[in-house]
């Protein structure tokens, strides 16, 4: 660490799993550890082997996994009793993992040692020193997490420093200052970290939680003060409001503060790494996350888009490609001609009279959004509109008539049946199907009607279905907006429908979804079916 490069420590597999709704299997943790290693994280904290069987199993299995450069680290606490250091089950479990780097935490806030543990200041210091010493004598690197350090230092500088001294006396390699409650302010973190950096020869680290929304700022201030070891989770998950997000900290450190990391990072892989992490956790990504969120470089207002088309620096603080993200322009009732032009260029759509067509499109989009459509959430439906007006596309089918019947048997079990009349070219197909509810029946009937004409639709999956009531004050006469997300293999797309009838709104969104898939397969060449002109 003498070369002043930043060491990166990821605790997604341990601290991250303490977040609400986060659950990782042993296999999940191994897959994520491999990706973190490939990305360039130096230390991967795998779990607390002394607390649960799953983490013990992880350390057994990860020992046979070949990593490129990362070290796997186990986590635990100081011993429970001074009289039983060498036989403490938690410390023994740490050593049994046979990893070469261990992290243990100890109390550095007097409030916790006195009221939480109920021990004297001297005994708390002895617990820290002797626990660290026991581990370090076994030939491992010991990272000491000074739990609640910033709160403890605020209450009693002398006590907090005595506890750090105890860790140093025990042989701790790195001292990590923890903002465990996440309530500290950046200036205080900087001033305190600077004093600690000046006092000790050991590398100083920082571990921040986000309870005040300041975890990233606090981490960067600690680095500015001389911290050389940064802990966090790759996507910011963690207990309560989460840990600091390394996906936020790392671009700031590397791109803006020009700091060097121990391992050269491929930041262009950052967005895909975070998406991979959310996928493994079965969680929806934070679309507004800095740098890597889907909306991080999305532009909606017409004036903004006009400026971005001239020079993206006007409304983007970095090139999104640097972190593996991309620029997006949203089309809505706030759009101007610049939004439509940008979207057309992005999709490589050519218009003969672009100015006139663009004006019509802007008016149409504004009218439709006034009626309740929301195209920023339904890119596929918008693309169909743009391409139909350009002459590249006409719908492959039209639903001429649809009926859905719902009945209940004596036990109250619902039964739904849908009948459809569908026009494909010059052919009219009548079909019927049942389903688990009216929308499922409609989906099944439409698929059945189209199956003989377009077998390509067989593997299209409906992955999400959302309904929103638009004008609640109208009661049962209110309009509803249906958003559908569909997928085929790794490709996914969203479509929309709006109506006072939820079945009709669903029919619109389903029709757009299937038409979009067929159009993508045809590579947007004009088909020979009768064009269904935009109204």
pLDDT tens column, 312-329: 888 899 999 999 998 877
Average pLDDT, the chain: 89
Backbone dihedral region for residue 489 (phi beyond 0: left; psi -120 to 50: alpha; all else: beta) = left
**pLDDT value of residue 376:** 72
What's the alpha-carbon Rg for the chain, to the nearest Å?
A: 29
Q: Please state the length of the chain.
A: 535
**pLDDT value of residue 319:** 95
Which among 286, 264, 263, 256 is positioned nearest to 274, based on CA atoms?
286
Q: Tell me: pLDDT of 346 over 80.
A: no
Give the chain's domains with CATH numbers. Answer: 7-265 (3.20.20.70), 398-521 (3.30.160.270)
Q: Is 198 helix (H, G, I), strand (E, B) or coil?
A: helix
Model pTM score: 0.74
**pLDDT value of residue 18:** 94
Q: Tell me: pLDDT of 21 over 60.
A: yes
The phi, psi pair for 404, rounded to 5°, reads -125, 130
518-to-80, 423, 496 alpha-carbon distances in Å: 65, 15, 17
Average pLDDT over residues 295-318: 80
Which among 138, 129, 85 is positioned nearest to 107, based on CA atoms?
129
Partnered with residue 147 across adjacent β-strands are 107
pLDDT tens column, 204-226: 999 999 999 999 999 999 999 99
User: Which residue would you say has higher pLDDT here, 187 or 500?
Assistant: 187
- Report percent pLDDT > 90 for the chain: 67
**pLDDT value of residue 506:** 94
DSSP string, 266-311: -GGGHHHHHHHHHHHHT----TT-TTTSTTTTEE-SHHHHHHHHH-
Going by their DSSP bridges, the two strands 328-329 and 71-77 should be labelled as unpaired
Instruction: Report the b/e string of 18-41 with b at 16+ CB within 10 A.
Output: bbeebebebebbbebbbbbbebbb
In contact, 213 and 186? CB cutoff 8 Å? no
Residue 358: count of CB within 10 angstroms of its CB? 21
Q: Tell me: pLDDT of 69 over 70.
A: yes
Going by their DSSP bridges, the two strands 328-329 and 398-408 should be labelled as unpaired
**pLDDT value of residue 355:** 65
**pLDDT value of residue 253:** 98
pLDDT tens column, 130-161: 999 999 999 999 999 999 999 999 999 999 99
């Amino acid at each position: 660490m003498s070369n002043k490069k930043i060491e990166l420590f990821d605790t997604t597999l341990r601290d991250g799993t303490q977040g609400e709704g986060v659950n990782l299997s042993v296999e999940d943790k191994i897959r994520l550890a491999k990706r973190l290693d490939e990305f360039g994280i130096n230390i991967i904290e795998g779990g607390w082997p002394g607390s649960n069987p799953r983490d013990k199993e992880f350390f057994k299995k990860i020992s046979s996994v070949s990593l490129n450069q990362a070290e796997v680290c186990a986590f635990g606490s100081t011993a429970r009793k001074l009289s039983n250091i060498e036989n403490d089950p938690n410390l023994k479990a740490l050593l049994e993992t046979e990893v070469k780097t261990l992290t243990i935490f100890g109390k550095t806030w007097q409030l916790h040692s006195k009221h939480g543990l109920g021990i004297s200041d001297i005994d708390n210091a002895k617990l820290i020193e002797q626990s660290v010493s026991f581990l370090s004598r076994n030939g491992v690197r010991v990272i000491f997490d000074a739990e609640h350090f910033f709160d403890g230092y605020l209450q009693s500088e002398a006590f907090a420093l005595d506890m750090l001294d105890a860790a140093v006396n025990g042989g701790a390699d790195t001292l990590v200052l923890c903002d465990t409650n996440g309530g500290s302010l950046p200036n205080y973190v900087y001033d305190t970290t600077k004093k600690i950096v000046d006092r000790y020869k050991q590398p100083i680290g920082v571990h921040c939680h986000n309870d005040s929304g300041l975890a990233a700022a606090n981490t960067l201030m600690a680095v500015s003060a001389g911290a050389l070891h940064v802990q966090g989770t790759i996507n910011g998950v963690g207990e309560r409001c989460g840990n600091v997000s390394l996906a936020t900290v790392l671009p700031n450190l590397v791109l803006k503060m020009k700091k060097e990391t121990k391992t050269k990072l491929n930041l262009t892989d950052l967005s895909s790494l975070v998406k991979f992490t959310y996928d493994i956790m079965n969680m929806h990504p934070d679309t507004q996350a800095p740098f890597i969120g889907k909306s991080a470089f999305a532009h909606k207002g017409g004036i903004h888009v006009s400026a971005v088309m001239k020079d993206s620096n006007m409304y983007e603080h970095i090139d999104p490609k640097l972190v593996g993200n991309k620029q997006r322009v949203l089309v809505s009732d706030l759009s101007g001609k610049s939004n439509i032009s940008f979207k057309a260029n992005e999709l490589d759509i050519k218009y003969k009279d672009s100015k006139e067509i663009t004006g019509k499109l802007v008016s149409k989009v504004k009218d439709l959004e006034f009626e309740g459509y929301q195209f920023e959430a339904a890119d596929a439906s918008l693309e169909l509109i743009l391409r139909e007006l350009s002459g590249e596309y006409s719908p492959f089918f039209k639903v001429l008539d649809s009926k859905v019947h719902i009945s209940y048997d004596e036990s109250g079990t619902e039964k739904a049946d849908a009948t459809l009349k569908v026009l494909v070219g010059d052919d009219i197909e009548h079909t019927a199907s049942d389903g688990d509810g009216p929308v499922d029946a409609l989906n099944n009937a439409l698929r059945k009607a189209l199956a003989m004409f377009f077998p390509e639709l067989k593997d299209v999956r409906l992955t999400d279905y959302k309904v929103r009531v638009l004008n609640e004050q109208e009661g049962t006469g209110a309009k509803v907006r249906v958003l559908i997300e569909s997928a085929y293999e790794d490709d996914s797309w969203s479509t929309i429908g709006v109506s006072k009838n939820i079945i009709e709104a669903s029919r619109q969104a389903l029709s757009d979804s299937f038409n979009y898939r067929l159009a993508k397969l045809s590579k947007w060449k004009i088909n020979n079916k009768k064009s269904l002109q935009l109204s």
